[in-house]
Amino acid sequence: MAQQLFNPFKDLIFDEHFCFLSGALTTEKITVFPQWLMDHFKFGDEKIEMMDKTKSYIYSDLELPCSFEVKQAFEALDLKIQAAYKNGFEGMASLDQELLFQWTGRMVYGLLYYEMVYERDRLLRKGEEFELSAALKERFGHFHLMLQSIIEPITFVGKKPWSIVVFPLKYSADIFSYRDDAINLMFSFGVNGFGFIACLQDNGIIGEKQKELLDKMEDHVLHPIQFEELYARFHYSDYILQYKPEYKIENQDNGITIEALPIEKKGSKPIFGFWDEDIFAQLLANYWSVYGIEREDILQFQKPPLSFLENPYSKDFINPETIDLPF
């Protein structure tokens, strides 16, 4: 008999008594951000803002209800990630991407869960009903199903649903840099030694779009400002993607298989919309604000847009060692 797995987006169930992943009744909890990560980088007591900027939480207070089985599965995964982390770039790059998807997915889903709960409670106080569009229910439902691969017999076959890239990265200190966009299922993670960027539901198309640049980056240790620009390129590419990722999901007696279908152009509509340098410059300025670089510095009259990844004329990759900015 085919399996019917818990899907919280079907009836919008975000309740502290039900495991976020399996739907089982539980009193157990797991932190959204792995405890070892918060301890190592000492950000557990810092604040994180929700999307609308009116609500914030303490990182260590962000917890998900979970069954004992789910907690054990994520603890086992954490041990694998920790072991790879200790070996820096080589350790992380050698990990199966499915493990990185699951590890990143826990944090992204946790933040998405809190966005859902916050919005539901906000509307409840106004006497309004919490609802999601059919498109978002489907998108998040697919993501949740893929995350269940950590506890269920779910196999990814053929093309994978994600773009995940891991690369060497240099910081001057033992610091932790991350960005997320829970609604668009994106995440970036950078420490001294390596960084990675994950688009968790793009069917690999954004990685393909940036392939030429990623190939040029090989054998280079990125400067942090290059890391920020690379994530901005991935993030903006996701924003202008004009096709919805689709999947072939087969539910059989021995488990579920998920195959990401290639995103292909239909008719005259391109896969990606127009790349607006104005909008991209604003996004980039947000990411580069720590360097004091503003939109006006990125877009200057009769000059190509500022980039620390590619020479605007030759398109050659810019050697990180030539960038005269602090790490």
Residues 68-119 have pLDDT tens digits of 999 999 999 999 999 999 999 999 999 999 999 999 999 999 999 999 999 9
Question: 271-280 contacts: CB < 8 A, separation 24 or more?
Answer: 271/205, 271/241, 271/242, 271/243, 272/209, 272/237, 272/240, 272/241, 272/242, 273/240, 273/241, 273/242, 274/240, 275/236, 275/240, 277/305, 279/236, 280/232, 280/236, 280/305
Q: What is the mean pLDDT of residues 249-273?
A: 94
- Residue 208 inside a domain? The answer is yes
Q: What is the mean pLDDT of residues 188-215?
A: 96
pLDDT-derived band at 238 (thresholds 50, 70, 90) equals very high
In the sheet with 176-181, reading across from the earlier edge strand, the strands are 163-169, 193-199, 186-191, 176-181
- Residue 8 inside a domain? The answer is no
Q: What is the pLDDT of residue 145?
A: 98
- Residue 21 inside a domain? The answer is no
**Distances in whole angstroms, Cα of residue 285 to Cα of each of 132, 173, 299:** 31, 23, 10
Q: What is the pLDDT of residue 1?
A: 40
Contact (CB, 8 A) for 190 and 140: no
Domains held by the chain: number:
1
- Residue 180 inside a domain? The answer is yes
The per-residue pLDDT for range 283-321, each reduced to its tens digit, is 999 999 999 999 999 999 999 999 999 999 999 999 999
Q: What is the pLDDT of residue 88?
A: 92
- Residue 14 inside a domain? The answer is no
- Residue 307 inside a domain? The answer is yes
Q: What is the pLDDT of residue 236?
A: 97
The per-residue pLDDT for range 20-79, each reduced to its tens digit, is 999 999 999 999 999 999 999 999 999 998 888 788 999 999 999 999 999 999 999 999
Q: What is the mean pLDDT of residues 185-213?
A: 96
- Residue 15 inside a domain? The answer is no
The 10 Å Cβ neighbour count of residue 197 is 26
* pTM listed for this prediction: 0.94
Q: What is the pLDDT of residue 325?
A: 84
Q: What is the mean pLDDT of residues 220-243?
A: 97
The per-residue pLDDT for range 148-174, each reduced to its tens digit, is 999 999 999 999 999 999 999 998 878
Q: What is the pLDDT of residue 54?
A: 83
Residues spanned by the domain of 252: 29-322
Task: State in Å, rounded, how far the first CA of the chain is from the last one.
Answer: 56
- Residue 222 inside a domain? The answer is yes
Structure tokens at 72: 């054990």
Average pLDDT of the chain to the nearest whole number: 94
Contact (CB, 8 A) for 247 and 261: yes
